[in-house]
A and B are shown apart, each in its own frame.
Chain A
Amino acid sequence: MLALEFPPINEILRWRDLFPTFNKIAIVAVLATLISIVIFLLASRQDGLKAPKGVRNFAETIVEFIEQQIIMPTMGKHGLGWTPWFLSTFLFIYLCNLPGVIPILQMPATARIAIPMFLSLLVWLTFIGTGFKHQGPAYIKNSLFPPGVPGPLYILVAPIEFISTFLVRPFSLTVRLFANMLAGHILLVTFALLTNELITSDSIALKPVAILPFFMLVFLTAFEVLVGFLQAYIFTVLAAVYIGGAAHPEH
């Protein structure tokens, strides 16, 4: 019947190197950076006093989205100074996720663990740095010994808080983004392979069945666009929650 064989994981995640150490992932990451820089450079050229149009309209929509949907619900008004930071993180992640559904590229740069890992290390360093900047050395004390816990319980609470704040946060940020994009990529590969295999199969009865995985493929492609946006949003919101929490301790 079907000689369906899933390719080894390296084959679907690794494209031919253009030259050593520079492959498709690197191209996508560089493109994401360049595109976001160009969009905002073009937008800043226009006169801010006139009604925005074209690329500036787009840029203003993104900035407003970051301010209203990401910073205001998590950090409040005093977090608005962080807009550029979250804006660049969000745009970079989104533009790295999007190539997962763009033909020819077909590879989200965040499906390799390096980019999510460095992004979450960046978030980790930023929220610890913010904590020390706003609270001084007391940041460690405030985050390990949350107020309102009866004294002896701190023996239990402090290690748990240490693990969940300083170890699990960067790990879960990394794994969430990485695994979501990898899972999406593998799903797309699976259904594309299945469609291809059914269409090129020898028996005439199997050929029309290919329409089923093809519909699934189309549906999943649309779903991946949503997932790419949602993961960029969730990563940025969590970064905002962590940084906001470090800037203002619980009372």
Chain B
Amino acid sequence: MEALAFLAQETADQKAAFAALGAGFAYGLAAIGPGIGIGYLVGKSVEAMARQPEAAGMVRTTMFLGIAFTEALALIGFVVFILIGL
């Protein structure tokens, strides 16, 4: 009986450990792509604004739109992190 209880406890612990591990990986992996993407996007936007300052307003709006779409992936990863990790 005692051994069974111990085993059940062990399984629960393992489950929690794997959930924490999975949560960490989920967020870490989800952050890679958007990180690269947003860096590239903003870098190019700054380049565009420096070349043509009079178009800065338009570039800025489009840049924020692009950031919003790129960032969504990282945020979904973050939500998954919350769902399985906590």
Contacts and interface: CB of A to CB of B under 8 A. Distances in A.
Interface of A: 8-9, 69, 73-74, 172, 175-176, 178-180, 182-183, 230, 233-234, 237-238, 241
Nearest to B57: A73
Contact of A237 (B58, B65, B71): B65
A97 to B, nearest CB: 15
A135 to B, nearest CB: 23
B35 to A, nearest CB: 14
Contact of B72 (A175, A183, A233): A175
Interface stretch (B11-19, B44-52, B73-81): B73-81
Contacts, number: 43
B64 A233 contact: yes
A124 B38 CA distance: 26
Interface residues of B, number: 16
Nearest to A73: B61
Nearest to A231: B68
Given A69-B61, A73-B58, A176 B68 contact: yes
Contacts of B58: 73
A9 B82 contact: yes
Contacts of B79: 175, 178-179
Most A Cβ at <10 Å: residue of B67, B75, B79: B75
Contacts of A180: 71, 75
A157 to B, nearest CB: 19
B74 to A, nearest CB: 9
**5 pairs of A and B residues whose beta carbons are closest in the complex:** A179-B75, A73-B61, A9-B86, A234-B68, A172-B72
Contacts of A172: 69, 72
